Structure 1
Amino acid sequence: MKQTHYHTCNLCEAMCGIEIDHMGDEILAIRGDSADPLSRGHICPKGVALQDLHNDPDRLRHPVKRTKDGWVPISWDEALDETARRLHDIQARHGKNSVGMYLGNPTAHNHGALFTLLPLINALGTRQRYSATSADQLPHQLATWQLFGHQALFPIPDIDRTDYFMVIGGNPMASNGSIMTVPDIRGRLKSLQERGGKLVVVDPRRTETARLADEHDFIRPGSDVYLLLALLQVMFEELLVAPGRLTDFLDGQGTLARLVENWTPEKVAEATGMTADRIRKLARDIATAPRAAIYSRVGLTTSAHSTLSAWLVYVINIVTGNLDREGGVMFTKPAFDIVAFGALGGETGSFDRYRSRVHGYPEFGGEFPVTTLADEMLSPGTGQIKAFISHAGNPVLSCPDGNKMDKALSGLEFMVSIDLYINETTRHADIILPPTGQLEHAQFDPIFQAVAVRNVVKFSEPLVEKPEGSLHDWEILLGLATRLGRLKAETRRERFQVEATDRFMRKLTDRGIVDLGLRLGPYGTGGRSMAILKRAGLRSLPKLAWKVLRGKHKGLTLKKVLAQPHGIDLGPLQRALPGRLYTRSQRINLVPPLYFRALQGLPVPKPPKADEMLMIGRRHVRSNNSWLHNSQRLVKGKSRCNILIHPQDAERLGVADGDDLTLRSEVGSITLPAWVSDDIMPGVISIPHGWGHDRKGVQMDVARRAGGASINDVVGTTRVEAVTAMAQLNGIPVQVEAASAAVPEKAAG
């Protein structure tokens, strides 16, 4: 009998509500849920492809072990026992930091995994922790921690009420938003323009978002920091700075004015590729708009000076009075308040508490940047990574210098991957532990509800029951943590704590944690749940965190959320300052010492060398990093893995549309067909991220046949961001030539 199931698509940050017609395990149709209060019936091609992932014959459904004769299935007990035993043995011989761990982007989309990572991290006790953060949004998080006191307290564009929306280095039409959960972005941008508002895009490429814009400005990759400094210089010079009510809890305005006074539009015009007059007009338009929101993403945060750039975007929103203002950028009030919960445990953020072994790179939030990961495996000595755990990540394709990462992974003593596929990274594993698929577990979004353009809450039941003989992510992670804890326990008390934690978590389950979080949240039941936490030992807690969690209790529980399968609308974003600040003084310092020092060393901008082009990435709505290329309906049609190049550059190189181009850098080369278009500024090329699935041993048939090449095979690990040492993935200088004229690498030596 046909049934309709309401779910949330978890393939990107948009959290689109979907309706799934099915008969048991057979999916008949997937469409947008018009009753979902956030997505309002919107769905992109990725949502429909959930059916392909659910039925994918290449998806692993039981643990496998690599042997000399190939991959063989093993039981869950054998897989978890051997994994824990080998990790423990390596740490016993080489020290606790001999085990490394990497978390991919999909980890953030899985609430069960998020809730059980901490027990495993504690059981391992290693400092060698990494994630996609340092190839993505780290500068945003560092800025929110420095300015607002918490690394997860993101100000979100109030896009439904703004009059002026500027996008720098972002493409929400392709991404559906990022650190801005915004399904149906096309409809929202259309509404902005219909009410007389303006959309402005600053990007080296005429992106899908730029095509809808009222104004689009090309900017040279990596020069965002100079544009932002010049915008501020104009605002101060022309007395356009007006923080409004923010002045009551704002410090450092005079210091900021002095820091930017020499960064005039004339000084940065050549470096940015924008005229001084245009920069001045942008500054005036932002400052005089009734309500403005400035938004930036990976084009800006993966560039050479991304730490300064991310901070300056927030600063511009502040000094123009658009922080915590309707139509500006505002803080969410999520039902499951991950910001307040982090503060309860004292986890508001950290930077540079300790440094990595090989390069001396600073930690952020307990993690090192991925730019040192391969070298931590390859460099002998105390603390060398000998064993590795990956969860839902593919660093061979998503981190700089994939060939070096390949080499590093192949030399490990032991590796385990928690993943659905045998991909470019997991093929190196000794054991792969595949969790349930996207429609086989419940879906709740504590992170993306906390960065949504509207306050909403939703919990989706699984489409089908967990298949027999399978485990959810949280069960795998908890199973490993418990086994490691047993092996490491030296006293009766330690053994009791391990077993008690395991029993408590299995009884509570991921659903129980969600329920507890909702009860403790600003719409929850409050008191009784508070008492439970206090009895558990959380007595000395930050007063602000308790205050935020108490909120106005409306009795929200998981049961009440489940009764509304489309989700619950909790209303538009609301003013939250200064009460939402987690700084010790509950004030905002515009110029924290970290940024003051970084600005002192900022070099005078220089144009690129004559024989180099600057490479940037590219996002497509039918793709998502490296892990959706095994869906035929997403990769069908003309290949999208090509080199976007301006007609002037194509003519200079003697190539036409479709001809092969070869890119070279200090670490390698790739060859791809040219896509000649004036949608890219001269001197710049663009290549999509995450392609190139042709490495030996990859068992993803559709992806292998899709072709393409990995942009990270020409991105080195030595080109790092100036302050955090995170990956620089945009504005990479490369040599480009027609493939027919390229000299083979061996002969060139």
Structure 2
Amino acid sequence: MTTRRVHTFCRICEPGCGLVADVRNEQVITLQPDKDHPIHKGFACHKGVHFLHVHNDPNRLDRPLRRTNPRHEELGNFVPIDWDDAVREIAEKLMDIRRRYGRNALAVYQGNPSAFNGTYYANAASLARGFDTRMRFSAGTQDTSAKYAASEAIYGASMAHPIPDLLHTDYFLCLGSNPLVSHMTLLHISDPMAKIRAVKKRGGTVLFVNPRRIESSGPDTGDVLQIKPDSDFYFLAAILHEIVFRIGYDRPAVEKHARNIDGLLDFVRGYPVERVTAATGIEADVIRQVADDFCAAPTASIYMATGVNQGRQGTLAYWMLNMISLFSGNLGRRGGNIYSRGMTDVVHNSKRKREDPFFRDSLGEVRTVGGDLPAARLPEYIANRDDPIRALIVISGNPLLSVGGAEGMRRALEDLELIVTIDLYRTVTGEMADYVLPATDWLEHEDVNFLNTMGVAMEPYVQYTPAVVPPRNDRRDDWWILSRIQQEMGVKTMLDSPDPNPLANADAAMRDAGLSLERLKEMPCQTAVLPEADPSHVFTIAVQHDDGLIDCCPAIFRRAYRTVEDILEELSNESPDQLKLITRRTLYMVNSWLHNLPILKQGAHQDNPLWMNPDDADRRGLVAGDDVIVHNRHGSIDAILAYDATLRPGVVAMTHGWGQSSARGLDVARRYPGVNVNRLSPNGKEGYDILSNQSHLTGINVEITRREPRSPR
């Protein structure tokens, strides 16, 4: 009995770590880090290695299912249906709904895993056009759209993201990220903690800014500056104020690459360190010292992630971050923040179409970011009488858990005429669906690390993987499922070709790098290492404004100036007893998936506890293990209190992605359901940043009370 070895890569988070699979009789026997990989060199975290538990999970979907009972019943009854009948029935219902309500009666929601699926992501634009609807939503407005919107305004392209040059920097300022756990976002780098430790080893400085003393910090990396949640914008604005009004900057050098400098100075003038100390919880002298150290370092880089994005001012925080890099002389400089071209110039495809992206629709003035409307308003679009959504297709997503205001979302979904989910599992969203369609996992289809090559890779490379094993039973690729539905609707698709190739767009993109799929297949690990990033490409490639200049003070940001002042006043005058809820990433959950793996249900992580500083608990007469109610004006949830002395006093934390109690198709997740923290998040018009459609999911005001035992009947 022979065993063959297949070089492949993980598609759970952004590094795309190299893996090697041993296969016998078309079954994956082992999945291990690939020691031969030219970039990752044997590094992979436990999540990728444990993906074999997902692949072999008996709860995986194997065939299309059709619902037989009304959606208002919480648990669905489903029966198998063959593919031809499923896609025909779905297409007929979609066409009927659109005849009655118009083209925008169909909405599409795209989840996070689809971005790591090259066969889908490389064709996402054409698949979206095939459904011909403006009602597009995605998990992007739950995690990264703040950055996309900011870059579109500053650089003229939503995909222009100067990344910290961790391989050469002398000072790394890292906000709202826990690299040991999350492995970073919009920054693709192998073994990020090794790179961060290397900064310290070569005599540099690393400073984390976070409400919690995160696992990434320590003697071999750097300290944590514990900031109040949702105040990062003011911290960054004060640092920029120090640079431009006290430390000094090279104005001619900035003018060479940027415009609207005076507009920026006028704005930042309003945020000296003394004015932001109460809001941030950081003393003025400490902020000044950070600014001094950043500017005194031979090179300095700066980065922010989801912990900042998901606040109310993630877009403006990213604006300040980029201006700090520019005015300190570190933008476009080796060791500073640089643009990594990868295999092709993706910024051209994300160039801003107009200066003011807002338009009016049935809900008033809105915009799209990367084509997506704010997911926080999806329930309103469904309920809108003038132009209602009546059908929803969900691609590898779980909006019932991922979007704020779960109860409002559930009521809205109950009102739809048709829901179709495409996923590995029947999740809580799938439990409400009319059709649940089984997708392949990433061991079952060929792929290219398409996302990893698109401008944010510190160590750029491109890798091909064949399907490690054939799809089990009736599982199909996402692109195939959507194309079959569109075929039945009379839309031309890839499947009309006698030899459909979902990687054709990726193959074409490689030509700029002198590569092709066929060449990759012949290379060791099917991987080609691309040239090191050229720091000057920030200015020569990333900037896409017609005049070739960075906009230091985009006009669109003025829409938020009043909000900036209102939030500053609110934070500065808040009661010292006010508790702020943040999202805590753990090694045992990734968003709302990996929820069905017994191996990841360990200790306190079998549940979704409320983490609280012991001093905060003591002041409230609470102890670890207490049943508590976490509540605010948006909702209420029950949780078990657990101590976490690493939290800044006044801050509590819970993990995103729990709450699968009604997912009858998920045995483990239903046994350990936890609670959905997004029940406490605002939704609707107040639930997102108008500049970016980014949902407000962290730094949320809550109250905590002990839950009294229920009286026996």
Work out whether the TM-score is over 0.5: yes
1:518 correspondence with 2:505 = no
- Mapped to 2, the partners of 1:577 and 1:130 lie a distance apart of 30
Matches within 5 A, 1:627-706: 627-639=593-605, 641-695=608-662, 697-706=663-672
Change (3 A) 1:741 1:304: farther
Q: 1:306 aligns with which of 314, 317, 324?
A: 314
- Write the distance in 2 (CA, Å) between the matches of 1:646 and 1:102: 37
**Aligned mate of 2:584, from 596, 604, 618:** 618
Determine the C-alpha separation between the residues in 1 that align with 2:575 and 2:688: 19
Local SS of the residue matching 1:602: helix
Query: Structure 1 residue 449 and structure 2 residue 453: aligned?
Result: yes
Q: Within the alignment, does 1:720 sit opposite 2:712 as a pair?
A: no
Q: Tell me the distance in 2 between the aligned counterparts of 1:360 and 1:588.
A: 27
The residue type paired with residue 311 of structure 1 is W
TM-score, normalised by the number of residues in structure 1:
0.89
Q: CA deviation at 1:419?
A: 1.1
Native 8 Å contact 1:155 1:329 kept in 2:
yes
Q: Shift of the alpha carbon at 1:356?
A: 4.7
State TM-score, norm by structure 2: 0.93
The equivalent of 1:186 in structure 2 is 193
**Superposed CA offset, 1:32-52 (max 9, x none):** 112223322111110111111
User: 1:387 maps to what in 2?
Assistant: 391
Between the aligned partners of 1:350 and 1:703, the Cα distance in structure 2 is: 45
Shift of 1:399: 0.5
Rounded to whole Å, the distance in 1 between the matches of 2:239 and 2:106 is 46
CA distance change for structure 1 residues 261 and 716 in 2, over 3 Å: closer, same or farther?
Answer: closer
1:737 aligns with 2:705: yes
Structure-1 residue corresponding to 2:516: 557
**Contact 2:260/2:551 (8 A) holds in 1:** yes
Tell me which amino acid in the other structure corresponds to 1:661: V
In structure 2, the partner of 1:58 is 59
Q: Distance in 2 between matches of 1:261 and 1:350?
A: 25
Partner-residue secondary structure (3-state), 2:539: coil
Match of 1:333 in 2: 341
Give a deviation string over 1:701-746, Cα, whole Å, max 9, x none.
Answer: 11111231111111120333253453101111111112238999xx
- 1:172-201 Cα offsets, whole Å, 9 max, x none, are 111111111123112111111111111100
User: What pairs up with 1:578-597 in 2 under 5 angstroms?
Assistant: 578-580=539-541, 581-597=543-559
Which of 524, 534, 540 is the matching residue for 1:574? 534
Q: Work out whether residues 150 and 348 of structure 1, in 8 Å CA contact, stay in contact via their aligned partners in 2.
A: no
In the TM superposition, what are the counterparts of 1:431-510 in structure 2 within 5 Å?
Answer: 431-450=435-454, 451-467=456-472, 469-486=474-491, 498=492, 502-504=495-497, 507-510=499-502
Flag the 1:208–1:84 CA change in 2: closer, same or farther, 3 A. same
The change in CA–CA distance for 1:630 and 1:165 in structure 2 (over 3 A counts) is same
- Distance across 2 between alignment mates of 1:601 and 1:415: 37
CA contact (8 A) 1:101 1:130 kept: yes
C-alpha deviation, 1:429, in angstroms:
1.0
Offset of residue 468 of structure 1: 5.7
Runs of 4+ in 1 over 4 A off after TM superposition: 243-246, 346-351, 741-744
CA RMSD of aligned residues (A): 2.2
| Aligned twin of 1:260 | 268
CA deviation vs aligned residue, 1:545-573 (integer Å, no higher than 9, x gap):
xxxxxxxxxxx111111222422222322
Counterpart amino acid of residue 561 in structure 1: L
User: Alignment partner of 1:31: what SS?
Assistant: strand
| Alignment check: 8 A CA contact 1:45 1:634 kept | no
Aligned to 1:134: 141
CA distance in 2, matches of 1:304, 1:700: 34
Do the aligned partners of residues 174 and 351 (structure 1) sit closer, same or farther apart at CA in structure 2, a change above 3 Å counting? farther
Q: Which residue of 2 aligns with 1:45?
A: 46
Q: Would the aligned equivalents of 1:130 and 1:368 in 2 still touch at CA under 8 Å?
A: yes
Deviations 1:455-509 (A, max 9, x none): 11111111112346442111112212222235xxxxxxxxxxx37x6434x6241
* CA contact 1:201–1:213 (8 Å) conserved in 2: no
Q: Is 1:251 aligned with 2:259?
A: yes
C-alpha distance in 2, partners of 1:667/1:481? 39
Q: Which is worse superposed, 399-408 or 60-69? A: 60-69
Secondary structure of the corresponding residue to residue 600 of structure 2: helix
Pairwise CA distance, 1:413? 0.6
Identical residues among aligned pairs (%): 30
Matching of residues 106-125 of structure 1 within 5 Å:
106-125=113-132
Q: Does the CA-based 8 Å contact 1:330-1:573 persist in structure 2?
A: yes
Contact 1:400–1:716 (Cα < 8 Å) also in 2? yes
Counterpart in 2 of 1:284? 292
Which residue of 1 is the match for residue 17 of structure 2?
Answer: 16
Residue 82 (structure 1) aligns with: 89
Report the residue type matching 2:630 in the other structure.
Answer: L
Distance 2:475 2:402 in 1: 28
Match of 2:107 among 91, 96, 100: 100
The equivalent of 2:215 in structure 1 is 208
Shifted more, 439-448 versus 393-402: the winner is 439-448
* Distance 1:150-1:248 versus aligned 2 partners, 3 A rule: same
Aligned residue for 1:538? none
| Counterpart code for 2:420 | V
Cα gap change, 1:741 to 1:210, in 2 (>3 Å): farther
On the 8 A contact 1:662/1:742 being kept in 2, the answer is no
Structure 2 residue aligned with 1:323, among 316, 321, 331?
A: 331
Read off the aligned partner of 1:401 and give its amino acid letter: G
2:254–2:326 contact (8 Å) kept in structure 1? yes
Can you list the C-alpha shifts for 1:588-611, whole angstroms capped at 9, x where unaligned? 121111124433552143243355
Whole-Å separation in 1 of the counterparts to 2:639 and 2:14: 29
Gapped regions of structure 2 (runs ≥ 5)? 70-75
Question: Which digits, 9 at most, give the CA deviation of each residue in 1:121-166, with x for residues without a partner?
Answer: 2232211111111111111011111122211121111111111111
Q: CA deviation at 1:677?
A: 2.4
Q: Output the CA distance in 1 between the equivalents of 2:601 and 2:366.
A: 38
Report the residue type matching 2:409 in the other structure.
M
**2:184·2:305 contact (CA, 8 Å) conserved in 1?**
no
Distance 1:460 1:244, change over 3 A: farther
Aligned equivalents of 2:144 and 2:136: distance in 1? 16
In the comparison of the two structures, how many residue pairs are matched?
693
Q: Could you say what secondary structure the match of 1:397 adopts?
A: helix
Please say if residues 358 and 365 of structure 2, whose CA atoms lie closer than 8 Å, have aligned partners that are also in contact.
Answer: no
Partner of 2:374: 369
Equivalent position amino acid for 1:62 in 2: R
